[in-house]
Amino acid sequence: MIRVACHLSYRVSYACCYVLVQITDEFGSFDKYCWSFVNYKPIVSKFRYPRQVPVKSPKADVISKDLVKRGFRSVGPTVVYSFMQSSGLTNDHLISCFRFHECVAAASSSADEANDAKRNINTKVEEKTDTEVKVEAPL
């Protein structure tokens, strides 16, 4: 019985790894996949009271449905929203919290760096296409 349970556990973990590899192949990394849902910029919420902080959001619903479609399990909107909070995709610090302004400043600087990186990638692509060998049409 234990042997069967270990085998099933192995197959489940292998399936999760396979899904992660597919996402990495498509987006470059799981990080880029996650940040693509929020346009590479953290969502800043301005809550005054703890009761205002939601347990899920429409964005978490979208991410959850996409993860389930790709083969993940146990990734409901509440779990995904919790992941969004812990990974910095959304800033739900109360505005009275001492970390709120630090997180907003860090988010704006990381968004600027992401935009700079996008511009650098675009210019590299343009440079590459400008220097490619021109093919002439046959006579």
Numbered residues of the known binding site: 93, 97
Tell me 138's DSSP state: P
Are 41 and 107 spatial neighbours (Cβ–Cβ below 8 Å)? yes
- Close Cβ partners of 45 (under 8 Å, ≥ 6 residues apart): 53, 90, 91, 92
- Region of 56 on the Ramachandran plot (φ > 0 left; ψ -120 to 50 alpha; else beta): beta
What pairs with residue 90 in β-bridges?
43
Binding residues for Zn(2+): 93, 97
The DSSP H or E segment spanning 91 is strand 90-91
